[in-house]
Amino acid sequence: MAHIDGGKIKPSKSLQESLSNMLKGKQEFVLLDEQKITYEKALALSNKHQNQKQVYIIHGGPGTGKTVIAINMLVEMINQNKNAIYVTKNKAPREVYRKKLSNGGYRKVYIDNLFKGSGGFVNSIENNYDCIIVDESHRLNAKSGYYKNNGENQIKEIIHACKLAIFFVDDHQIVTTSDIGSSQEIKKWCEYYNATVYEDKLKSQFRCNGSDAYLSWVDNVLEIEETANDELNIDYDIRIFDNPVTLKNAIYEKNQIANRSRILAGYCWEWEKSGRNRADVHEIKIGDFSMSWNFNSTDTWAIDENSINQVGCIHTSQGLEFDYVGLIIGDDMRYENGKIVTDFFKRALSDKSISGLKKAYKENKESTLNWADIIIKNTYRTLMTRGQKGCYIYCTDAALNEYLKLRLEKSKEYVRKSEKTNY
């Protein structure tokens, strides 16, 4: 009993071999360029023996390969006999990567024990893990449990539970009122534990056909950041549609190639309980267009074959990527008097991501509107950057649709002028 009590928890040899074999030949898990540098630094930190806790904060926008690096870190640390796990609050990416990694015929239990939600560390023993790798850490919450009544702060609990905590963060992907995992909040708890902090930023973009210009354009158009970027001289297929039916048809056609295209939407239509698993219940209706929200019975909507017939939301697509996305921007964002306007009152009542905003609005109107504006813009920014090859957009607000067309045409005109000058 003393030997067991004082023993070190570590992965079995069969698990190590299984994980290594799972990544072999899978192109989506191959590391490139600066991803390798970040990966090697994390491994070096995991082998660094010191009494202080260590925290590695890795900043990265959409498509910089955060999840790819995280999965590779996990596998190599397991190979090195370390007690390491992968954590993300959002269930959808956990389930998708579980399925991808377990398709090799390996026992499901091997994978399930390595992919955890963020609320499982409330009662953890200090330094119980060698390393906890947190993907999409901007989605961490304060409280845990179904009723949000357990624990104190998920960031604090994760740092407490391990010797090395690795947080992948993008502050522009905070999309609900309960998301507290900003880089500022992480640093606050690093100071609390007197942890040694390391910080890096992933700059190279491997989604949206590798174009940082598209991300800058999105930030500019949505008035998230004044990037002053109207140049889109890139091989990326972005189109604005006047009709959601034609958008749907275009995405269906793209999906026939490899089942890697999906329709997404802002959360502006009620998600009917009676329709959670019924294909004949269409909650999203716009003129002749009607489709169902993604079913409640699947956590792998992003890769299921039949999900092309369902519309995904932020919760089933964040942290994942597709070849093409068809995005329906709802009434929560419109264009008025030369400005992008957001309206959280147009969100569906069943949308828990804006929980508490109506009450806060009564107490402090201005700050609540600012917070809601950030959440809504971040949501559409995230959805607009899920596609590797293209993004097709339809807006329920006609003025916003025309505004996006004009901005897209302006970017093309900018490119044409640049090409004439260069010539």
List, for residues 48-60, the tens digit of each pLDDT value.
Answer: 987 899 999 999 9
Q: What is the reported pLDDT for 75?
A: 86
List, for residues 152-171, the tens digit of each pLDDT value.
Answer: 999 999 999 999 999 999 99
Mean pLDDT of 327-351: 96
**Burial class of 214 by CB neighbour count within 10 A (0 to 12, 13 to 18, 19+):** buried
The predicted model scores a pTM of 0.86
Q: What is the reported pLDDT for 14?
A: 44
Q: What is the reported pLDDT for 65?
A: 86
List, for residues 218-259, the tens digit of each pLDDT value.
Answer: 999 999 987 656 677 678 899 999 999 999 999 999 999 999
Could you give phi then psi for residue 144, rounded to 5 degrees? -115, 175
Lowest mean pLDDT among 3-12, 210-219, 267-276, 304-313: 3-12
Q: What is the reported pLDDT for 84?
A: 94
Q: What is the reported pLDDT for 15?
A: 45
Q: Regarding predicted confidence, which is higher, 64 or 207?
A: 64
pLDDT band at 275 (very low <50, low <70, confident <90, very high): low
DSSP string, 9-35: P---HHHHHHHHHHHTT-GGG---THH
Q: Which one of 7-21, 23-37, 399-413 scores highest in mean pLDDT?
A: 399-413
Mean pLDDT of 189-215: 86
Cα separation, 292 vs 106, in Å, equals 34
What average pLDDT does the chain have?
A: 87
CB 302 within 8 A of CB 157: no
First to last CA, the chain: 79
Q: Order of strands, edge to edge, in the sheet holding 129-134?
A: 115-116, 84-87, 129-134, 162-169, 54-60, 196-202
Lowest mean pLDDT among 20-24, 26-30, 316-320: 20-24
Q: What is the reported pLDDT for 420?
A: 52
Q: What is the reported pLDDT for 267?
A: 94
Lowest mean pLDDT among 104-108, 114-118, 416-420: 416-420
Q: Regarding predicted confidence, which is higher, 114 or 87?
A: 87
